[in-house]
Structure 1
């Protein structure tokens, strides 16, 4: 009922808001430009109640929207309601993500979410960009662009060899001069002494035929390198982070000591956690779980598993006496209860014992 009331309030607000916007100029191109009381207004999405309304210094007789946040009149181009002084009106266009006129390609580096800012939104020319040949690359490389002479990352030209530059995967690139990496700090040259590099999958690359590279952003680890003996190839890809060779297993760029690739079974995995077992051991990430019996170990729920002798949360043995009766709760509506045993004890998702909930 509450959701229905809330939806009705939202609908009423939108109806009132739209009524106060005036008349949309061309809804096929934009729902953000309106004529009201003889003036042009920028009202993002037609929602002045939440996003505000901006009266523009534009000619209502000649103004026309070009795309959702772009427009022009006979004298100027406008972006999010702000006049752009130095853009050529006659040649201005917005197509396939490219904003340009006859002389420049433009970008906006501000906050594209917050419509309630103060001040003006100004488009800036992209350094060195050629408006005739400039194009944005498609996903998963949508942060990149190129023209007939340069590559660009986040609207800035990058110093690479144009003719030999290529993408290895979503993380690494190369040209004849070296290997490059993108991370939170931007586009980086990470090696200049590489003869050969090839993609293994989306995260790993093989360098010079015998070095496995993986970028680990957690804890500022950076690039993790492991040497792969030729006798252990080929590499088998399990997923983005997990690889096997004939003799080794790697997860998150690291070697799992003692792991047997032929018998390894993945039981639980996220983008930074792994529970697995092989014929000899049970593993939590890179560590063997002390005492865990791989032959009888089973994962019950989340990070909790058990063998014939003990119950474990991640790689820690829990103090639970009724191992045989310990099981996942099915159909319980009680809060914080995930497991139970045959003696009436209940446990949360980490295997911690909980006090029984009163039924009175």
Structure 2
């Protein structure tokens, strides 16, 4: 015998679809089934997970996520599903992807991998930032922070002349009301109030009202590991000086590459190529250039795609 079911009307079909969608959404929220399994999720019977793995806070009834990586309960704070030892749950708060604080201290949470494990496993490191003043600690741009005493880069403190006005300009350059800084070091003779990047798209060059510098991390020097190099642009005409891109800068008379003057470059006609596939990265009326070196036997020809 064939059993016939009553046909659903359009309104009934729509209502059923909405009910199913709501039910599926609720199930996904409970199970954390969003395809990513990241952050803190509360599943069946109130059990918590972090990143898809079981997570048991000390006080499950009061636990609350603060961000994808940080959480707290009435007893303590948590980072990536692990307790922040010595933290105070009632005042614990997330400040950034890596930083959190309570009423007593500031904490930095990061992950790392080990070469001997072939980089296969992710490990967690939670550290109290030494000497940080929790009440005045403020997260800034480019992985930096400051409190009333000093500045910080990824949780590591360094001294500045005026912490209250400290401002990072890029991952490497910064300033306060008194000085400019490169890689945490005070730039002698710099004027903090006028210190700025020459070009936001070419953050290797910085200047103030009277001087200019190029800074980079040197990685190609034999028998020496990576280290910061800061070069002043000696004799630069500040009125006409400009960053050109790809490590070059020029004024009305000279051209520099990474802060080194190019003796044979023609400033008036010097142009940097914007095409990443070009065999050279710059040209002037007499020759072509690659990373600050004249390229022998390369006909300059026409110069399409320059800035």
Is TM (by shorter chain) over 0.5?
Answer: yes
- Structure 1's 178 and 69: CA in aligned 2 closer, same or farther, altered over 3 A? closer
**Is there any run of 5+ residues in structure 2 with no aligned partner, and where?**
1-25, 33-37, 114-118, 222-226
Say yes or no: does 1:33 pair with 2:33: no
CA deviation map 1:130-168 (0-9, x unaligned): 222211013xx3x21112232212212212212586558
Say yes or no: does 1:126 pair with 2:129: yes
- Structure 1's 219 and 190: CA in aligned 2 closer, same or farther, altered over 3 A? farther
Which residues of 2 match residues 326-337 of structure 1 at below 5 A? none
Say yes or no: does 1:241 pair with 2:247: yes
Say yes or no: does 1:250 pair with 2:245: no
CA distance in 1, matches of 2:205, 2:277: 14
Structure 2 counterpart SS, 1:90: helix
TM-score (norm: length of structure 1): 0.56
- Structure 1's 196 and 146: CA in aligned 2 closer, same or farther, altered over 3 A? closer
- The match for 1:276 among 278, 282, 288 is 282
Structure 2 counterpart SS, 1:75: coil
TM-superposed deviation, 1:204:
1.8
Structure 2 counterpart SS, 1:78: strand
TM-superposed deviation, 1:96:
5.2
CA distance in 2, matches of 1:215, 1:246: 24
Which residues of 2 match residues 1-360 of structure 1 at below 5 A? 23=31, 31-36=39-44, 38=45, 40-44=47-51, 48=52, 53-56=53-56, 58-95=58-95, 98-111=99-112, 117=122, 121=124, 123-138=126-141, 141=142, 143-162=143-162, 166=166, 169-170=169-170, 171-173=172-174, 180-182=181-183, 187=184, 189=185, 193-194=188-189, 196=191, 198-199=195-196, 200-201=198-199, 202-206=203-207, 209=210, 212-215=213-216, 217-220=218-221, 222-228=229-235, 234-239=240-245, 241-268=247-274, 274-294=280-300, 297-298=301-302
TM-superposed deviation, 1:264:
2.2
C-alpha RMSD over aligned residues: 4.2
Paired positions, count: 256
CA distance in 2, matches of 1:31, 1:251: 45
CA deviation map 1:30-66 (0-9, x unaligned): 8523344x5734231xxx4xxxx23425444333333
- Structure 1's 237 and 161: CA in aligned 2 closer, same or farther, altered over 3 A? same
- Structure 1's 88 and 167: CA in aligned 2 closer, same or farther, altered over 3 A? closer
TM-score (norm: length of structure 2): 0.65
